[in-house]
Amino acid sequence: MNNNKNYRHLFGPVPSRRLGISLGIDLVPLKTCSYNCIYCECGRTTLLTTERHEYVPIAEVKEELYSYLSGSPTLDFITFSGSGEPTLHSGTGEICRYIKSSFPGYRVALLTNGSLFYDKGVRDEVLDMDVIVPSLDSATEAGFMKIDRPCSSLNVDEIITGLVDLRKEFSGEIWLEIFVVPGINDTEEEISALSEAVQKIAPERVQLNTLDRPGVVGWIRAATDVEMEKFAAGLDYEGTEITGRPSSRSGIGSFSGDAMESIMQTVSRRPCTVEDLASVLELHPNEINKYIQLLIEEGKIRDKRGDRGIFFMSSEDN
């Protein structure tokens, strides 16, 4: 685990189901995104934008990467992810190229909402990644608006075309993520539109995900196993997998017992939001999110909606 509190743009390594031991790079301030998804784990978008900038200095990110990677840590991936949409940072490509030229032994992944790939300049910047994990929650404008609540300049047809173009130009793997929201994107019409889009994009994998804790809005619920299976069958795409929940910590590539214990101790004293925990424990919110997920799955903590967002507390508290 990265205990150096001086890193401002790196977090983890975090245990990731899909990416194993993953060092995170966070390139935008919380919560800067071109979407305001109803299921976002990072809370409401405070800066809804498609403007690309050097939100954090490229030189600082490179310095931190140099410092961390010079110790030759064991990692499965270095992952662009974090508190918003990474491709909004104008230096995503430069930083990826830096990693590939200075530390060629590491694989690099990008978790993205895919909204900016209509722009050839953005597609060119991500060509050096090994894996791109874009999301596509609906292929209809109505579903897209309801789930992802995007910037007004974005439209879903352009985004799908951008993903199709990315597929033609990018030689690495594309793992497309679809977040299943019962009652919105699991109707026959929605699944059929998504199926058509997925065939055109032709990703190596399609990963179906659903809510595993309260979303930004109160009415959203998780899809049941039966609903997920039905969705997968309707999609009818060979590389489709339902993102499984590990039955134990051993199902995760890496985890920090210390971080889990610190979170348990803190929420046993008082209910905390992810932001509270990140501030008290000096860990990145994404790192906190990963451990909270495990603790919920193990039945050790529970959540409750409160005035400042979702609070987590010990399952033993009333």
What are the CA-CA distances from residue 179 to residues 123, 135, 147, 151, 158 (Å)? 23, 8, 9, 19, 19
φ/ψ of 105, rounded to 5, equals: -75, -10
**With binding defined as CB under 6 A, does residue 91 bind ligand SF4?**
no
**With binding defined as CB under 6 A, does residue 293 bind ligand SF4?**
no
DSSP three-state, residue 302: strand
Minimum Å gap between C-beta 156 and ligand SF4 is 14
List 2, 16, 113, 207, residue binding ligand SF4 (CB under 6 A): 113
Residues 96 and 227: their CA atoms lie apart, in Å, by 38
| Listed residue (99, 89, 149) closest to 122, CA to CA | 89
Of 37 and 288, nearer to ligand SF4 (C-beta) is: 37
Minimum Å gap between C-beta 185 and ligand SF4 is 14
Of 33 and 110, nearer to ligand SF4 (C-beta) is: 33
Q: Which stretch binds ligand SF4 (CB under 6 A): 1-9, 38-46, 152-160, 310-318?
A: 38-46
φ/ψ of 280, rounded to 5, equals: -65, -45
List 12, 15, 24, 84, residue binding ligand SF4 (CB under 6 A): 84
Residues 4 and 11: their CA atoms lie apart, in Å, by 10
| Listed residue (84, 178, 80) closest to 126, CA to CA | 80
**Do 172 and 131 contact (CB within 8 A), yes or no?**
yes
Of 85 and 276, nearer to ligand SF4 (C-beta) is: 85
DSSP three-state, residue 13: strand
* Beta bridge partner(s), residue 80: 25, 110
Residues 223 and 308: their CA atoms lie apart, in Å, by 26
**With binding defined as CB under 6 A, does residue 85 bind ligand SF4?**
yes
**With binding defined as CB under 6 A, does residue 156 bind ligand SF4?**
no
Residues 256 and 97: their CA atoms lie apart, in Å, by 30
Minimum Å gap between C-beta 195 and ligand SF4 is 22
**With binding defined as CB under 6 A, does residue 310 bind ligand SF4?**
no
**Do 99 and 61 contact (CB within 8 A), yes or no?**
no
φ/ψ of 70, rounded to 5, equals: -65, -20
Of 36 and 161, nearer to ligand SF4 (C-beta) is: 36
Minimum Å gap between C-beta 30 and ligand SF4 is 10
Q: Which stretch binds ligand SF4 (CB under 6 A): 39-47, 160-168, 185-193, 242-250?
A: 39-47
**With binding defined as CB under 6 A, does residue 117 bind ligand SF4?**
no
Minimum Å gap between C-beta 67 and ligand SF4 is 27
DSSP state of 246: P
Q: Crossing angle of helices 285-297/257-269, nearest 10°?
A: 80
Of 45 and 240, nearer to ligand SF4 (C-beta) is: 45
Tokens linked to 279: 């501030």
Q: Which stretch binds ligand SF4 (CB under 6 A): 34-42, 97-105, 257-265, 274-282?
A: 34-42
User: Applying CB under 6 A, what is the total number of residues that bind ligand SF4?
Assistant: 10
Residues 317 and 300: their CA atoms lie apart, in Å, by 10
List 2, 16, 22, 45, residue binding ligand SF4 (CB under 6 A): 45
Residues 188-247 that bind ligand SF4 (CB under 6 A): none
Minimum Å gap between C-beta 130 and ligand SF4 is 20
**With binding defined as CB under 6 A, does residue 37 bind ligand SF4?**
yes
Site for ligand SF4, rule CB under 6 A: 33, 35-37, 40, 42, 45, 84-85, 113
